[in-house]
Homo-oligomer: A and B are copies of this chain.
Amino acid sequence: MPTHATSPSRPRRAPRKRPLVTVSEDDGNRRADLIRVSARLFREKGFDGTTVRDIADAVGMRSGSPFYHFKSKQDILAAVMEEGLVAGLQDTERIAASDLPPREKFRALVRSHLETVLAEGHDFIPVLLHEWRALSPEHQARIIDLKDRYDARWQQALAELKKARLIRSDSKVVRLLMLGAVNFTIQWYKPGKGLSIDQLADQAVEFFLGEPG
């Protein structure tokens, strides 16, 4: 049963959709808009499962227009990942530079990373984790630099924990297991159900380091 009466006229264009994002008319933030909505779509449907038309629709452009801002779909993916890493690295370095005691500093790191990965609208790093494989090798190289700096900060934090005798080993494997446990939360954590992000951070730290004192 057709929902609309169809007339035999020539193919009619679908009515122009209203943009789903509100932006001041004449600013240059269209690129940032594209990155943000692409992150959300890539996270929800995957890189290959998202079409350039999906992205264009979501920001209220025509299907060819994203290519005015990016020269390929791959470039959008790289921009999404870079955005997430730059922001995450900034947070991480701020915490690393603070003078919190070791356990508190570590807790702050875990909480910050959990927020980077779980908070509403924070789709950049989840896309990095999920769609790394879809990124071309040339783009990967650029992103790996940033990832290495991120990892180095964590390794540094573990060294401080070891010095304070809060962990037995600051081996690379321990770091990978910890970050794995934290990163994998994106597979099961449901915002607003059960633990808050803060509570989850506390439980994770307790699991990693044992009870305080």
Contact = CB atoms under 8 A, between A and B. Distances in A.
Interface stretch (A4-12, A17-25, A41-49): A41-49
A187 B129 contact: yes
Count of this chain's copies in the oligomeric assembly: 2
Contacts of A181: 177-178, 180-181, 184
Interface in A25-69: 44-49
A120 interface: no
Contact-residue bracket for chain A? 35 or more
Instruction: Label chain A's interface by main secondary structure.
Output: helix
Contact of A174 (B45, B129, B207): B207
A204 B174 CA distance: 8
29 contacts: A44-B133, A45-B133, A46-B47, A46-B48, A48-B48, A49-B134, A130-B130, A168-B211, A171-B203, A173-B200, A173-B204, A173-B207, A174-B203, A174-B207, A176-B184, A176-B188, A177-B181, A177-B204, A178-B181, A180-B180, A180-B181, A180-B182, A180-B184, A180-B187, A181-B181, A183-B184, A183-B187, A184-B184, A210-B210
Interface of A: 44-49, 129-130, 132-134, 168-169, 171, 173-174, 176-185, 187-188, 195, 200, 203-204, 207, 210-211
